[in-house]
Structure 1
Amino acid sequence: MTEFSHINKSNNPKMVNVGDKRITKRKATAKSTMFLGAEVVAHFKNDDITTKKGPVFQTAIVAGIQGVKKTSDLIPMCHPLLINGVDIEIDVINETDIEIYCTVSIEGKTGVEMEALTGASTTALTIYDMCKSISQQMVIREVKLLEKTGGKSDIKNE
């Protein structure tokens, strides 16, 4: 049986020591799906919605990037990382739903899965915040890791 890496032999929490790990190129992509509803999507013009708070998608992308950079402040056992790049894309997939993709890359000793998941989540939360005056029926349906590369094991989820 695999043991949790964040629990020491006294059964207390610990931060994993990555000091002896090799520096490798690492990348992770996370996806968030969100129901906005037809009422919100109807406000789209030129691939964005502009509210009194500003352009929704552009603001949400900046917030997602900030979320990536703040992941170690939010998730206790995450290591602070020097992020090489963040790319966030938001796609309107039909008259009610969007998909958010957050890809994070580094050269380091630990992966960026949590950073990608935090970026996708923060982007979705910002969209919710900026559109809640139009509708409070929005739902963040799913946040999941799609892919990670460069560590001990690569994974690809659909």
Structure 2
Amino acid sequence: SVTLQAEDMLGASRTLHSPVLSLPVLDASACKDLSSDPVVAQRLQELQFGDAAAEVRTLLLAGDTLAARRKLKLMEPTVADHPWLRDKLARLRELTERDAAMSVKELRFSVKRMSSRLASTAQFQYSDLEVQDDAIPAYLRRKGAEGQGRGGNNNPRSKF
């Protein structure tokens, strides 16, 4: 059991006891038989994308733009079945071709977003229009380019 001792605001001593909870242990064969949760699988793919994007950023910071472009190209097959990551990767590749310094900044935000994004249990098919959808809370929206708000056509940076 776990015991917690503390004093309240009046100085009275309090002691709380709680039993230790335990979960059954599954062996490797039992784990293989468990069904895969699509939301969990998708989040794992996003985390792997974030790790790869961090490597690209490190290459760009080291001045190795060619290796960074190669790494981005190698990431394509891993995101082929994930529309949001496919869109992010296309935008990152285009930005890296155009401006490596801005790509470093975008990658920093993307890596942070991938590692801390909340996922809804009811995810919908990704669309570029998701950023404009008021029905989706801002913290759950997936954007192809980070740092961009809801700028319309009059926003010169709305493409990136």
TM-score when normalising by structure 2 = 0.29
Structure with greater proportional strand content: 1
Structure with greater proportional helix content: 2
> Which is greater in Rg?
2
Higher relative contact order (CA 8 A, sep 6+): 1
